[in-house]
Amino acid sequence: MADSDFPGWHGTTIIGVKKGDQVVIAGDGQVSLGQTVIKGTARKVRRLSPGGFEIVAGFAGSTADAFTLLERLEAKLEATPGQLARASVELAKDWRTDKYLQKLEAMLIVTDGKDLFVITGAGDVLEPEHNVAAIGSGGNFALAAARAMMESEKSAEQVARSAMAIAADICVYTNGNLTVETI
């Protein structure tokens, strides 16, 4: 079977919402292979504490690739404690230039409770407009829903949960089994 014949892994919607003094990253639990749901309770949002510095990260894409990136991010944070932006840029530079890392297929949303970034394999470290970032197969649905709710009285967590529920109703690769981390 050629690589192009292999049904790709699909799934995941991750959203980051920064509102007031709260930053939330939420992710669904579905992993699909082609048209089959392989797992419905995957945990794609993690709390990390490199060198006593707490961050929350969510990932979309290949799980093994995402864990490789999270390990690299932890190492960058240990080298630059308390400097999420700098560690993220250093990771993105490595990801863009290292021949091994270039093959990794994942994206990250990270926060330290102050900053919120999307890190991509294209070498981007993006600080989202409107304090909302979303990635993955249902990311655009969650992003649109969250942006519509940002002016409401809802908290960051309520916005994230509501946006994820809307994405799960629309995207067949997203479910309602959420992991939510607040910082």
Residue 39 placed within a domain: no
Residue 57 placed within a domain: yes
Mean predicted confidence (pLDDT) in 158-178: 97
Mean predicted confidence (pLDDT) in 50-63: 88
Residue 71 placed within a domain: yes
Residue 176 placed within a domain: no
pLDDT at 30 over 80: yes
More confident residue, 118 or 35: 118
pLDDT at res. 123: 83
Residue 38 placed within a domain: no
pLDDT at 6 over 50: no
Arithmetic mean of pLDDT over the chain: 90
Residue 92 placed within a domain: yes
Least confident interval from 12-26, 50-64, 143-157? 50-64
Q: Are 49 and 43 in contact (CB under 8 A)?
A: no
Enumerate the active-site residues.
Answer: 12
Residue 111 placed within a domain: yes
More confident residue, 30 or 64: 30
pLDDT tier, 66 (very low <50, low <70, confident <90, very high otherwise): confident
Mean predicted confidence (pLDDT) in 176-180: 97
pLDDT at 182 over 90: yes
Q: How many CA atoms lie within 13 A of 76 on its CB side?
A: 20
pLDDT at res. 3: 45
| Matching residue, tokens 């607040």 | 182
Report the number of distinct structural domains present in the chain: 1
pLDDT tier, 51 (very low <50, low <70, confident <90, very high otherwise): confident
Structural domain for 125, as ranges: 8-33+44-143+150-171
User: Could you tell me the CATH number of the domain that includes residue 103?
Assistant: 3.60.20.10
Return the number of other C-beta atoms located less than 10 Å from residue 98's C-beta. Answer: 12
pLDDT at res. 173: 93
pLDDT at res. 165: 98
